[in-house]
Amino acid sequence: MTLQIEDLVVEHRSPGRPVVRAVAGASLTVSPGEVVGLVGESGCGKSTLARAVCGLNPVTGGSITFEGRPVTPLGLRRRTLTAVQMVFQDPYASLNPRRRVGDQIADGLRTAGDRATTPADLLERVGLPREFAARHPHEFSGGQRQRIAIARALAARPRMLIGDEPISALDASAQAQVATLMRDLAVDSGAGLLFISHDLSVVRLIADRIAVMYLGRIVEVGNTAEVWADPRHPYTRALLQAIPRPDGMGVLPAELPGDVPDPANPPAGCRFHPRCPLAMDVCREKEPAPGPVACWLHEPA
């Protein structure tokens, strides 16, 4: 088991505000060579979870272990855990505008102690011409920049690649391409991939397993095809039904009433019950146990 997240709790504290529990007891595993898609609405804590896995957010409770060793928060010291690499959401902000892209990729190669590979080789792997190494980020489009960011992450020879909404800043035409590229590169190098997105149709295309997150908790985990064909948690169903289909029939997608509640003040019982069409009495009182499906409807009796 490569990456193991157990009962993770991450809190955001800011002065004068209540403590926000962005991740409230989430468990997830990602094996080598496996692609796990993490989906959920904005504000559900999926990005916080990704940042915690990289050590970018301090952990309040629970544990994150990578290959048996705990993931420690990043500090001023040189980091020891270079096998976990992240591709960020916005390639306009994640690349240094003042350095040549080849130099930025070379940083990763140096980290991995790789003298045989050149930045141009990596550019070639992500489908860009070798000459691009001498250019600066502003000379590229969003899709090209995200490919460069992926090349930079791959240069450090990661055994776990994390994509935090890596495609949401890109054009629709580039989204599927970049997502598939990330999958292929991760799987070919035997690394695991934790792919975070709010776009279910893209996650479906590349993920082996899907984890659905709602308000800091993972409510359903399962094989992608199974979750897609037979979503069991009412929230997963609502998410899938809300996707408009390009069938030309003019069917308005189903609406999920209400907004995501404030994570600083989550509802009692099951966190989804105020918006759930199937809420029962027990849902208002007790929180369902985490499992493949965290819902009282699917609780083993």
CB of 213 to other proteins, least distance (A): 12
Q: Give the interface segment with other proteins, choosing from 53-61, 80-88, 228-236, 286-294 (CB under 8 A).
A: 228-236
Our finding on whether 219 is near other proteins (CB under 8 A) is no
CB under 8 A: which stretch of 26-34, 82-90, 146-154, 238-246 binds other proteins? 238-246
CA 285/CA 40 separation, integer angstroms = 24
260 binds other proteins (CB under 8 A): yes
Q: Is 246 in the site for other proteins (CB under 8 A)?
A: yes
- Asked if 97 touches other proteins (CB under 8 A), the answer is no
Q: Which amino acid is at 16?
A: G
Minimum distance from CB of 43 to other proteins (Å)?
8
Q: Is 249 in the site for other proteins (CB under 8 A)?
A: yes
User: What minimum distance in Å lies between the beta carbon of 284 and other proteins?
Assistant: 21
Is 116 an interacting residue with respect to other proteins (CB under 8 A)?
A: no
Angle between helices 142-155 and 172-188 (to 10 degrees): 10
Instruction: Report d(CA 50, CA 34) in Å as an integer.
Output: 16
200 binds other proteins (CB under 8 A): yes
Cβ atoms 105, 151 nearer than 8 A:
yes
Q: Which is nearer to other proteins, 1 or 225 (CB)?
A: 225
Window 3-62: residues binding other proteins (CB under 8 A): 41-42
Q: Is 248 in the site for other proteins (CB under 8 A)?
A: yes
Q: How many CB atoms lie within 10 A of CB 231?
A: 20
Q: Toward other proteins, which CB reaches closer, 68 or 246?
A: 246
Choose the binding region for other proteins from 4-12, 111-119, 230-238, 287-295 (rule: CB under 8 A). 230-238
Contact between residue 145 and residue 92 where contact means Cβ atoms under 8 Å apart = yes
270 near other proteins, rule: CB under 8 A = no
Q: Which of 97, 109, 177 is nearest to 144 (CA)?
A: 177
* DSSP assignments along 98-165, one per residue: TS-HHHHHHHHHHHHT--S--HHHHHHHTT--GGGGGS-GGGS-HHHHHHHHHHHHHHT--SEEEEES
Count other Cβ atoms within 10 Å, centred on residue 54: 21
How many beta carbons lie within 10 A of that of residue 240, not counting itself?
18
Number of Cβ within 10 Å of residue 289's Cβ equals: 10
Region binding other proteins by CB under 8 A among candidate stretches 6-14, 55-63, 83-91, 200-208: 200-208
Among 10, 24, 156, 239, binds other proteins (CB under 8 A): 239
Minimum separation from the CB atom of position 224 to other proteins (A): 6
Under rule CB under 8 A, residue 252 binds other proteins:
yes
User: Which one among 193, 224, 273, 296 touches other proteins, defined by CB under 8 A?
Assistant: 224
Q: Judge contact between 172 and 97, C-beta under 8 A.
A: no
With CB under 8 A as the contact rule, the residue among 74, 81, 176, 297 that binds other proteins is 176
Do 243 and 39 meet the contact criterion of CB atoms below 8 Å apart?
Answer: no
Residue 243 or 280 having the CB closest to other proteins = 243
| Amino acid type, 103 | D
CA–CA gap between residue 193 and residue 250 (Å, rounded): 36
Q: Which residues of the shown chain bind other proteins in the complex (CB under 8 A)?
A: 41-42, 171-173, 176, 198, 200-202, 204-205, 224-225, 228-231, 238-257, 259-260
